[in-house]
């Protein structure tokens, strides 16, 4: 009877508050309330102040035309950022995994050096070089953004996989896991925090680099910024700059939330 009572206690039938409390506490621990509200509040204040300022400024015909709905290419900027980051993940994560395998480890320094050259090259110069071979258009801009942002994800993927305790991999091998099973169920989950940090960096880089897409016919918020500079219309320049800053802050905020949510339990502080 004592054992039975103990079993009922462990299962929570008689004192069920313990397990239910643990389940309630977990989400709050993983996503702090301050992280949910601070950045959106700052962005809202920034956008509101910009809107109020522009609405009280006398705009001439040139400024009004530049600020017309079709010329504020926020959606195109988001598309450029999302598509380029997708290709960065598609290239950098599998390549980083491959370069930590036994057969390709010797190629890792050369691959990292090549990716470092892509990021060390000034972004505007890289886009200009790509125009020679690819012509003008959004695809050229996306290619340049991928080359420019691949290094953080590649290096963090490799660093995350290399930082895993070899004893854990050996233990997984000892229980009969295949190479693919060890990678998918042990190595990649443990490397997730570093990989996500690299993805977050790449996202913010791409938001900034996308402003240069205007020079290769890629569109984006860079159109507003260059138009404001060329026509010397301060409201146009300010709106393009503020929207870029706000987008970068929101993207970094969303990436930080994804980093918290997707990081396996027990690794949040890693």
What does the pLDDT look like over 41-74, one tens digit per residue?
Answer: 999 999 999 999 998 888 888 888 888 877 788 8
Query: What is the enclosing helix (H) or strand (E) of 167?
Result: helix 166-174
Mean pLDDT of the chain: 84
pLDDT at 269: 55
User: Would you say residue 26 lies in a domain?
Assistant: no
User: Would you say residue 4 lies in a domain?
Assistant: no
> What mean pLDDT comes out for the span 179-184?
86
pLDDT at residue 267 tops 70: no
- Its pTM surpasses 0.75: yes
User: Would you say residue 100 lies in a domain?
Assistant: yes
> What mean pLDDT comes out for the span 179-186?
86
What does the pLDDT look like over 21-40, one tens digit per residue?
Answer: 444 444 444 567 777 889 99
> What mean pLDDT comes out for the span 193-205?
93
Domain span at residue 85 reads 35-262
User: Would you say residue 17 lies in a domain?
Assistant: no
User: Would you say residue 193 lies in a domain?
Assistant: yes
User: Would you say residue 16 lies in a domain?
Assistant: no
User: Would you say residue 3 lies in a domain?
Assistant: no
What does the pLDDT look like over 130-175, one tens digit per residue?
Answer: 999 889 999 999 999 999 999 999 999 999 999 888 888 888 888 8
Query: Are 56 and 116 a contacting pair, CB within 8 Å?
Result: no
The total domain count for the chain is: 1
- CATH assignment at residue 77: 1.10.3720.10
Q: How far is CA 145 from the centre of its chain?
A: 13
pLDDT at 177: 85
Exposed, middle or buried, 157 (CB in 10 Å: 0-12/13-18/19+)? buried
Tokens of 248: 């970068």
What is the percent of the chain with per-residue pLDDT over 70, rounded to a whole number?
A: 86
pLDDT at residue 80 tops 80: yes
User: Would you say residue 8 lies in a domain?
Assistant: no
CA distance 37 to 97: 35
CA distance 33 to 263: 17
């Amino acid at each position: 009877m004592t054992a039975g009572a103990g079993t009922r206690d462990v299962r929570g039938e008689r004192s069920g508050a313990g397990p239910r409390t643990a389940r309630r506490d977990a989400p709050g621990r993983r996503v702090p309330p301050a992280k949910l509200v601070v950045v959106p509040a700052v962005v809202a204040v920034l956008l509101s102040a910009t809107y109020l300022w522009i609405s009280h400024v006398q705009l001439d015909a040139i400024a009004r035309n530049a600020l017309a709905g079709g010329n504020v290419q926020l959606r195109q900027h988001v598309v450029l950022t999302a598509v380029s980051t997708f290709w960065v993940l598609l290239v950098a994560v599998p390549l980083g995994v491959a370069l930590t395998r036994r057969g390709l480890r010797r190629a890792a320094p050369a691959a990292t050096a090549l990716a470092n050259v892509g990021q060390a090259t000034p972004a505007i110069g890289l886009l200009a070089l790509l125009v020679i071979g690819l012509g003008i258009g959004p695809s050229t801009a996306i290619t340049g953004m991928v080359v420019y942002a691949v290094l953080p994800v590649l290096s963090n993927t490799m660093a995350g996989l290399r930082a895993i305790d070899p004893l854990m991999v050996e233990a997984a091998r000892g229980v009969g896991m295949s190479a693919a099973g060890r990678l998918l169920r042990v190595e990649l989950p443990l490397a997730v925090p570093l990989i996500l940090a690299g993805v977050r960096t790449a996202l913010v880089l791409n938001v900034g680099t996308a402003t240069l897409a205007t020079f290769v016919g890629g569109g984006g918020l860079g159109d507003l910024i260059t138009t404001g500079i060329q026509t010397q219309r301060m409201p146009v320049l300010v709106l393009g700059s503020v929207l870029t800053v706000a987008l970068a802050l929101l993207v970094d905020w969303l990436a930080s939330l994804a980093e918290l949510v997707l990081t396996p339990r027990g690794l949040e502080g890693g």
